[in-house]
Amino acid sequence: MFDPYRVREDFPILKRKVNNHPLIYFDNAATSQKPRQVIEAMKEFYEQHNANVHRAVHMLSLEATELYEEAHEEVAEFIGAEGIEEIVFVRGATEAINLVAYSWGLHNLGREDEVVVTLMEHHSNIVPWEILSKIKGFKVKYVDLNSDGTLNYESFKEMLTPKVKLVCVAHVSNVTGVVNDVKALTKLAHENGALVLVDGAQSVPHMQVNVRDLDCDFLAFSGHKMLGPTGIGVLYAKKEILEGMEPFHGGGEMIREVSFNPETRRCTISWNTLPWKFEAGTPDVGGAVGLTAAVRYLRSLGMENVKAHECDLTEYALKRLEECSKVMVYGPRDVGLKCGIIPFNVEGFNSHDVALFLDSYGIMVRSGLHCAQPLHQKFNISSSVRASFYIYNTREEIDRFIDALKEIEESL
Amino acid sequence: MNANLNEYVARMEEACGEERDIIVHFKYEKKDEAIGRILKKVKIDRAVAGVIFDLTYKGLPIRLYNTGKVVIKNVKDKNHAWSILAELLL
């Protein structure tokens, strides 16, 4: 039985008071809080096992290497990948997408090609493609949205010309929480000969994501949004695609051999095996240890329970928000179409005013564009407040949030 | 930047969104003094729930929070906001 009150006991930060009020953390789409299991795993690593990984013979390096590789195994199992060869550790979802852009896109996209993205993407799934398009000359096409912020699947189908080589789509919108049917989109893209990159930053922490079921070619996500530390994230890619890709960064760890030829006075370089070919330099071993603990924590809860809890909170919050006549909620109201993210504005106040007001009651929400300006343009708004829920949030916290919103409304 | 103003200001940021407001965070230990100094110089147009105080200074809308934050609207840039704060606090 999933019990958020039991879960809360694992999160030391939730005992804090902010502005003399108990902390209510509704900024989970930006980053999640960390359970003591993650904090202690990282502390134990640095106190007992810290060393650089790979290519050393001493005990600490062996222990660190085992922990680091174990993290890849844990993540592979969590998302249903075939093995650690398909799991590349990066700094976060942004770096994962940039890795695909520069290791795959730079070598596989040309003037005649097209890349399809959607208008609901986070800037991290727009900007790399616009930058690369200036270098390579391919066209970036944007799939339109319906008025409620859901993806227009007809628009998507119309864009799938034979020129499309890559489709980049968020699994879950970081603004509206809309869940895209990436399995269906992937099927359509593959039938058209295009590869599919899924931005899983807002899905992997909140629902069961299985890459074999989705059949996506790339999946990018961040550790810090799923209870892990900042600074570590994951690029999943199908093994055969990774094998054909050029490295992203060059340096130590990612090579098998760098051999100097005295006659040509050049070095001949061969790459390391997967996934290390894409992990140049000393990796974030401590972060990987924290990510292992985070994944184990989520698995112990059960992702179906995580999703159900967030759906319950979202449904409850949307219902209670109906009591606030001056609050405008954006995106679909049907929790079957979305995850635990609610964007809104309060008439008469801009988003930062609302966030600052809620902050005075110890309620943490985000305000602004949430790195998704095109989506805000679609809604014809200059910014929004975003409340986003996770495993440790409760209905009582939503009640306090609604009380605070009513207070701001009454002041008008 | 003025050293005396640095005694009060912990951080100044441009708001994310099309409204390019400037958000100022006062140092926690100096926030009450800073709020008091501002309220001595500018009259309150409107108070919201004892949390927000709307003020107008030289035609600029200013929203002051009892938590030690200030939103200065319609300023040209951070330097402009800084000069306004200097007038209000020093």
pLDDT digits (tens, 9 = 90+) for A246-258: 999 999 999 999 9
Residues A292 and A310 in one domain: no
Chain B nearest-CA distance from A70, in A, is: 39
pLDDT tens, residue by residue, A97-132: 999 999 999 999 999 999 999 999 999 999 999 999
Q: Report the alpha-carbon distance of residue B50 to residue A345 in Å, rounded.
A: 21
User: Could you list the residue range(s) of the whole structural domain that residue A317 is in?
Assistant: 4-30+302-410
**What is the value of ipTM here, to two decimals?**
0.83
Same-domain status, A47 and A9: no
pLDDT band at B20; cut points 50, 70, 90:
confident
Residue pLDDT, tens place only, A313-325: 999 999 999 999 9
User: Quick one: angle between helices A303-321 and A395-410, nearest 10?
Assistant: 20
Structure tokens at A348: 């008469």
CATH of the domain at A381: 3.90.1150.10
Confidence of residue A307 (pLDDT cuts 50, 70, 90): very high
Among A252, A267, A299, the domain-final residue is A299
Best mutation target, B21, B51, B63, B66, to test chain A (most A CBs within 10 A) = B51
Same domain, A131 and A19: no
In total, how many domains does chain A have? 2
Does residue A339 share a domain with residue A202?
A: no
Average pLDDT, chain A: 97
Whether A267 sits among the annotated catalytic residues: the reply is no
| Residue that is last in its domain, among A275, A299, A323 | A299
Q: Express each pLDDT in A176-202 by its tens digit.
A: 999 999 999 999 999 999 999 999 999
Same-domain check for residues A227 and A355: no
pLDDT one-digit tens code per residue, A124-164: 999 999 999 999 999 999 999 999 999 999 999 999 999 99
Are residues A250 and A362 both part of a single domain?
no
pTM of the model: 0.94
Q: Kindly report the CATH number assigned to the domain that includes residue A70.
A: 3.40.640.10
Same domain for A148 and A19: no
A351: which chain B residues are within 8 Å (Cβ-Cβ)?
Answer: 17
Domain boundary among A273, A299, A325: A299
Is there a single domain that holds both residue A20 and residue A81?
Answer: no
SS3 sequence of A183-233: HHHHHHHHHCCCEEEEECCCCCCCCCCCHHHHCCCEEEEECHHHCCCCCCE
Tell whether A10 and A142 lie within a shared domain: no
Q: Which residue has the tokens 């969104």?
A: B17
Same domain membership, residue A294 and residue A212: yes
Chain A: give the shortest CA distance to residue B70, in Å. 9
Residue B63 near chain A (CB below 8 Å): yes
Tell me the percentage of chain A whose pLDDT exceeds 70. Answer: 100
Residue whose C-alpha is closest to residue A277's, from A84, A92, A139, A101? A84
Residues A269 and A356 in one domain: no
Q: Please tell me the distance from the alpha carbon of residue A383 to that of residue A294, in angstroms, as a whole number.
A: 32
For the cut 60, the answer to whether the pLDDT of residue B2 exceeds it is no
Tokens found for residue A265: 């006075």
Q: Which of A281, A270, A277 is nearest to A243 (CA)?
A: A277
Is the same domain home to A86 and A117?
Answer: yes
